[in-house]
């Protein structure tokens, strides 16, 4: 279960490669190099995907020139959009459901006049992607956290370890460790009990 010497994947339906600045552990599984179609980071350490981690179909690393994505050991990315211009860290054992969005930058000015000038430049660019704009704010998803399907994690958010984010939540504030949040915007539903937190330890 590893990529070939030419950085292709033997099972791939898409004729792409794993970019050279992506460090893929031997035991990690990436379903398709199509996930890197929008990967344009120029950093040497642009991404790492840990032992036993997996990135299934629908996952898209939409990573800008200065972006860096770290995916920990045994993390499971089941089709997420990762919009990264600064740093997105997904720690060990994190479960990310389908259609989840992680974005560390809005990539456009909020002011509509400034935004128009920005939008006008896009058709002239080769890949037709937005340049990085404004301050990107790193995202961290803590160890063994679980993100429900369709949820969005917005710039600057830290999700604490062991936390659970309900399906379709929009997370705009930090989530405390070992808590359950849900809603738009996501709010605390309850904290896990000590028995739940220590279960099996």
Residues that bind other proteins (CB under 8 A): 81, 99, 101, 103, 106, 108, 110-113, 115-116, 119-120, 122-123, 128, 130, 150, 152, 154, 168, 170, 172, 183-185
Contact yes or no for 82/102 (Cβ under 8 A): yes
Q: At its nearest, how many Å lie between other proteins and the CB of residue 41?
A: 19
Contact yes or no for 136/186 (Cβ under 8 A): no
CB neighbourhood size of 112 (10 A): 9
Of 3 and 171, nearer to other proteins (C-beta) is 171
Of 113 and 195, nearer to other proteins (C-beta) is 113
Of 25 and 170, nearer to other proteins (C-beta) is 170
Pairing of strands 54-55, 29-30: parallel
Of 32 and 178, nearer to other proteins (C-beta) is 32
Of 120 and 190, nearer to other proteins (C-beta) is 120
* Residue 171 to residue 49: CA distance in whole angstroms: 24
Q: At its nearest, how many Å lie between other proteins and the CB of residue 108?
A: 6
* Residue 178 to residue 167: CA distance in whole angstroms: 17
Q: At its nearest, how many Å lie between other proteins and the CB of residue 154?
A: 6
Annotate 77-142 with DSSP letters as a single string: ESSEEEEESSEEEE-TT-EE-TTEEEES---S-SSHHHHHHHHHHGGGSSS--PPP-S----EEE-
Q: At its nearest, how many Å lie between other proteins and the CB of residue 195?
A: 33
Q: At its nearest, how many Å lie between other proteins and the CB of residue 133?
A: 12
Q: At its nearest, how many Å lie between other proteins and the CB of residue 47?
A: 20
Of 115 and 143, nearer to other proteins (C-beta) is 115
Hey, what are 155's tokens?
Answer: 């710039």
The CA distances from residue 168 to 13, 79, 151, 153, 171, in Å, are 30, 14, 4, 10, 9
């Amino acid at each position: 279960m590893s990529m070939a010497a030419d950085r292709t994947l033997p099972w791939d339906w898409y004729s792409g490669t794993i970019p050279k600045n992506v460090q893929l552990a031997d035991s990690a599984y990436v379903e398709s190099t199509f996930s890197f179609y929008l990967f344009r980071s120029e950093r040497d350490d642009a991404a790492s995907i840990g032992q036993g981690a997996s990135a299934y179909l629908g996952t898209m690393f939409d990573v800008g020139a200065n972006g860096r994505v770290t995916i920990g050991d045994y993390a499971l990315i089941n089709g997420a959009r990762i919009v990264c211009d600064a740093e997105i860290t997904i720690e060990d054992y994190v479960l990310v459901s389908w259609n989840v969005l992680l974005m560390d930058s809005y990539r456009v000015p909020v002011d509509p006049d400034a935004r128009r000038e920005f939008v006008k430049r896009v058709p002239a660019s080769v890949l037709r992607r937005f340049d990085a704009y404004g301050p990107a704010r790193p995202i961290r998803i803590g160890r063994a956290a679980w993100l429900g399907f369709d949820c969005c994690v917005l710039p600057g958010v830290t999700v604490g370890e062991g936390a659970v984010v309900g399906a379709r939540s929009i997370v705009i504030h930090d989530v405390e460790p070992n808590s359950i949040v849900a809603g738009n915007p996501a709010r605390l539903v309850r904290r896990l009990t000590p028995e739940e937190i220590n279960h099996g330890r």
